[in-house]
Amino acid sequence: MHEFDDAVLECFLKKQLQLFPEPVAESLEEAENFLEECMAVVVNSVDEVIEFFEDEGIDMEGAMDDEILEADEVFDIGDGRYLIVEG
């Protein structure tokens, strides 16, 4: 089970509309439950974001780091880590 700290949960609460048409969580607890249910992942670098997509079989060939980080599923936590949510 993944542990999501407050920075991750607050990031998701603030930015969830980039991935979903309406809010899916309104509190840190709801955000944590939602992220656990959809098997969200926290990674520590851009390289790990790219690795995640490659492991998932998503072809990122030729995509620049910036393009990958602009994917709706990728949330920049702001401390060098990224949250990846598969909607």
Per-residue pLDDT, 35: 97
On whether residue 18 sits in a domain, the answer given is yes
On whether residue 17 sits in a domain, the answer given is yes
On whether residue 69 sits in a domain, the answer given is yes
CA distance 76 to 84: 9
CA distance 58 to 76: 19
Range of the domain at 64: 6-84
Q: What is the mean pLDDT of the chain?
A: 92
- Contact call for residues 16 and 23 (beta carbons, < 8 A): yes
| Mean pLDDT across 4-11 | 97
Percent of the chain with pLDDT over 70: 97
Q: What is the torsion angle, in degrees rounded to the nearest 10, for the CA atoms of residue 48, residue 10, residue 25 and residue 47?
A: -10
The predicted model scores a pTM of 0.89
| Mean pLDDT across 39-46 | 95
Per-residue pLDDT, 14: 98
Domain count, the chain: 1
Residue type, 76: D
pLDDT over 60 at 2, yes or no: no
On whether residue 1 sits in a domain, the answer given is no
On whether residue 60 sits in a domain, the answer given is yes
On whether residue 38 sits in a domain, the answer given is yes
Edge-to-edge order in the sheet of strand 41-43: 41-43, 82-84, 74-76
pLDDT over 60 at 46, yes or no: yes
On whether residue 56 sits in a domain, the answer given is yes
Residue by residue, DSSP assigns 23-36 as -S-SSHHHHHHHHH
